[in-house]
Amino acid sequence: MMNDNFINLKNKFCFVTGSNGYIGKTICQKLIKQGAIVIHTDIKKNKIKSKNSFFFKADLKSKKEINILVKKIKKKFKKIDVLVNNAGYVATSDLGKKDSMLIYNEEYIKLNLNNTIYLTDLIIPSLKKSKQGSIINICSIYSFLTFDYNLYKGTAMKAPLAYGVSKAGLMHYTKMLSTSLAPKIRVNSISPGGIFRNQPSKFIKKYLLKTPLNRMCNENDVANAVIFFSSELSSYITGHNLVVDGGYSLS
């Protein structure tokens, strides 16, 4: 019989980036429900209303703002138990004319990879003060798969090369960091499949034909995986990329 204490996050300090997005908000809400104290940040105003959450506004595209953010967090909190690197551009982000399928856009690399690494490095000393430190990087199935451009034909949807490259870098960073921080801190990543966002019906139909569980991913699927890596259920797992895609990547 499973020990309920394994999923008890009471009084764990969890730092989540990109907390105003669909996924980030759901992650924060799930963590709070499990008893965690959630520290979170986004470029926009706070959307999480709870006595167990603390919001810090910051633009993570700026290293200067990252420095200020981390100083504020370290001043207020003695330790961090869990870091969830969720902030980043998604494949459909509107980054201007350069954001196309075939033209490389460095903004993805800057936010999704470089500045995520920069922030993580600054938070590691706080994680080392925890007895059960855990870093969770939100990646994508495109961290290890290429785009199936047939899915996008006849739609205005984007599939920029730099998105996949940035997420691939983040996944490999996860593996490299896991060995350098072991055994004190565990480092894992989560790679969601395509998340339902009312995409064109022709895209969804073709996507589901490749997905054994016959549905797209949703925010709860990702948040549940975060709970797993935040808890003692995953205490002997590090350097792992958990694929949450309903079987899409099997085809």
E strand or H helix that includes residue 125:
helix 115-127
Answer for the pair 138, 189: CB distance below 8 angstroms, yes or no.
yes
Total Cβ atoms within 10 A of residue 99? 20
Nearest alpha carbon to residue 217 among 248, 242, 191, 196: 196
Q: How far apart (Å, rounded) are the C-alpha atoms in residues 37 and 247?
A: 33
Judged by DSSP in three states, 116 sits in: helix
Q: Is the peptide bond before 183 cis (omega within 30 degrees of 0)?
A: yes
Q: Which of the residues are catalytic? A: 163
Total Cβ atoms within 10 A of residue 163? 27
Through-space distance between the first and last CA atoms of the chain, rounded to whole angstroms: 35
Q: How far apart (Å, rounded) are the C-alpha atoms in residues 228 and 131?
A: 17
E strand or H helix that includes residue 193:
none
